[in-house]
Structure 1
């Protein structure tokens, strides 16, 4: 069955930054419309960029010189991409820009980015807890230079600096330690090149010469993290899900989630144009390192009780500093369902069992809500305490998922 999932949040956010920074007019085709991406687009508008939107295309007038406004109060909602990318964009211009966000986003770290910008000479101050929003950037362009960056909590700090690199006077040389979610960095590099920038990687060192960006016509591929829910649902129920637009050349590393499902017993076919997962009626236990695809950790954890052996997920400490402590949220919900779970600093092990139908605590986290909605296919009566939190990345998820269930007859 064809499952046409919406556009990628990660690609849409990066494309919005690149379009705003590029010389000329960029058209984004099939971008994701969700609370996060709407918040990012609204934040660009607040900074003085022109963003015109229709259902299928967003048109952005680029400003290589930086925000049109010289003073702005930018509210980033729950969006980590906006809260982490846009201070770097603003710093490459001139003016005074204050960034704030929801309480949930205020609790998430931005410190490594702030310290890196300060090392580049940017006047950046925090109002409350150091390393957290609200923050103010008093921008006078970025000269550039060499810096060290700890990307152990999020690859978004590195992405923000890479995206800003071509806008600096001298370029950037970034030496990274503790990098997580490397495939997301690869998305950034590929998209920067598509917009005409040069960027080089030598091990843990990234070099970005100055030179700016050129506007382009850019199609947004479907969201691989969102696709993981439908691939998992197919594996769980013995059905078939084909996602067009996510083929062998897809940018997003989270498509590697299907390799985990293959190891567990599902049949997986990837062509140049699409990926298909078919459930075989069994799921085997597995031990898997999900450092590079950690956004799909909750998907696997939620369906893990239905495997025939323990499912151990390792090297996912960074999931503790997402919208919630995802590792602990998954463990707590599974335990409430009567499933045996062990956890450590950066791992979770889920044992086979029959989950009881309970109300899932979503912790305002879209990925917890969607992951346990998938597992509910085998646990009728499961409910969510905050079903609307899916608006962050997929506002119509529940209706869409219900349509898929109806077509599958489950």
Structure 2
């Protein structure tokens, strides 16, 4: 029975780095994800004057509740959305002038709802080129706190950034949320804040964050559930079995919910205390599924869909159009390249199984999730290649080796 060795969660590692930097004392992060995104986040912290020590299996971060140790810094956020959204928010709580820029891909991604909210809280923040996009400069003088309204309908990361900031403000924050996508990611944030000593209260659509800072701790990072989805999908498609240790009943990540989609399609799923196993049964039924809360796994299902017994319709995933690329169109275009009939709307995609797909080069748009998803399709379709297979380094530098090993095991 193949056991997939999945690296640590990207979303948990990014939040843990922010919390460790903001906490009073030294925090040890156990089994953090080491990838382009998280290395970029750690490097950004170093630029801001935080000490990040590394051993092969852990990172130690010296927290500074008072904010960055330097009065000015230039931070390059690479391709990382969490880096690009969380670090300016962290810096705002300190005192100094901090400039942030990012890759072309990340420069295209929006952050206006967040920067608008920070300005509403009195933060002196300027976009240097396009409003709501990198590059930007924060002239930080601490944050008093108070009430703020936020639209998180495009990305839950806007809300996470403000929640994480709350305990570093003088009076705490009351965040009124008008729209919210990817709710499970907010649950991750709240659970992790609790582990660092902060309890957030919810009152209707308001999140109330107390002031008073964070306590340092030792924090173990669970395996990445979004990354696990490719290995679970491979089992469902091949009729084999895959187990991911470290992801079980208590898992923080909502994307583990992807296994429920596989179960509805006909796979057998077992979720234990500290592991999840998916077994393919030779059957993959079509279905209609709302993936608003687990939208990072939409491409995984799209790549699996041509092998279902009926149409697969994925709904309520408008936010996938503003990820590393327009994932909805990228999936549709690549499936059509393979000869699959696909229809799309503003927030949905419908895939119609038909004749066996034919091999083709997948256009990745530099998006790690497009590569990893269509690697699953490649289990059944010979001749699939990628124009940029290396972009998986964003979250899983060893993906191709691990997936090849799994393929041999299946």
After TM superposition, the score normalised by the length of structure 1 is 0.99
Matched residue of 2:228: which SS? Answer: helix
CA–CA separation in structure 2 for the residues paired with 1:46 and 1:74 = 6
CA–CA separation in structure 2 for the residues paired with 1:34 and 1:312 = 32
State the match for 1:176 in structure 2.
177
User: Is the aligned partner of 1:351 residue 2:352?
Assistant: yes
Retained in 1: the 8 A contact 2:306–2:352?
yes
Q: State which of 377, 382, 385 in structure 1 corresponds to 2:384.
A: 382
Matched residue of 2:270: which SS? Answer: strand
State the match for 2:368 in structure 1.
366
Question: Any unmatched runs of 5+ in structure 1?
Answer: none
User: Is the aligned partner of 1:85 residue 2:86?
Assistant: yes
In the TM superposition, what is the alpha-carbon distance from 1:203 to its structure 2 partner?
Answer: 2.9
Within-5 A mapping of 1:298-337: 298-337=299-338
State the match for 1:405 in structure 2.
407
State the match for 1:270 in structure 2.
271
In the TM superposition, what is the alpha-carbon distance from 1:198 to its structure 2 partner?
Answer: 2.0
Retained in 1: the 8 A contact 2:50–2:64?
yes
CA–CA separation in structure 1 for the residues paired with 2:158 and 2:301 = 26
State the match for 1:396 in structure 2.
398
State the match for 1:98 in structure 2.
99
CA–CA separation in structure 1 for the residues paired with 2:38 and 2:211 = 27
Matched residue of 2:140: which SS? Answer: strand
Matched residue of 1:178: which SS? Answer: strand
Matched residue of 1:378: which SS? Answer: coil
CA–CA separation in structure 2 for the residues paired with 1:226 and 1:55 = 21
Matched residue of 2:180: which SS? Answer: coil
Matched residue of 1:370: which SS? Answer: helix
State the match for 1:56 in structure 2.
57
Deviations 1:347-402 (A, max 9, x none): 00000132110000000000000000111000011101100000000001001111
Question: After the TM superposition, which of the residue ranges 80-89 and 399-408 deviates more from structure 2?
Answer: 399-408
In the TM superposition, what is the alpha-carbon distance from 1:232 to its structure 2 partner?
Answer: 0.3
State the match for 1:189 in structure 2.
190
Matched residue of 1:196: which SS? Answer: coil
CA–CA separation in structure 1 for the residues paired with 2:358 and 2:148 = 51
Matched residue of 2:350: which SS? Answer: strand
CA–CA separation in structure 2 for the residues paired with 1:322 and 1:16 = 22
CA–CA separation in structure 2 for the residues paired with 1:178 and 1:329 = 26
Matched residue of 2:189: which SS? Answer: helix
In the TM superposition, what is the alpha-carbon distance from 1:202 to its structure 2 partner?
Answer: 2.4
Matched residue of 2:61: which SS? Answer: strand
Deviations 1:41-94 (A, max 9, x none): 000000000001121000000000000011000000000000000111000111
CA–CA separation in structure 2 for the residues paired with 1:384 and 1:164 = 39
Question: Any unmatched runs of 5+ in structure 2?
Answer: none
Matched residue of 2:45: which SS? Answer: helix
CA–CA separation in structure 1 for the residues paired with 2:379 and 2:81 = 30
In the TM superposition, what is the alpha-carbon distance from 1:242 to its structure 2 partner?
Answer: 0.7
Deviations 1:206-241 (A, max 9, x none): 000101000000000000000000000000000101
Retained in 1: the 8 A contact 2:49–2:70?
yes
Deviations 1:125-165 (A, max 9, x none): 00111000001000000000101000011000000000000
Retained in 1: the 8 A contact 2:171–2:211?
yes
State the match for 2:220 in structure 1.
219
CA–CA separation in structure 2 for the residues paired with 1:5 and 1:202 = 37
State the match for 2:255 in structure 1.
254
State the match for 2:130 in structure 1.
129
Retained in 1: the 8 A contact 2:4–2:402?
no
CA–CA separation in structure 2 for the residues paired with 1:203 and 1:270 = 32
Count of aligned pairs: 408
State the match for 2:118 in structure 1.
117
CA–CA separation in structure 1 for the residues paired with 2:81 and 2:148 = 22
After TM superposition, the score normalised by the length of structure 2 is 0.99
CA-atom RMSD, angstroms? 0.6
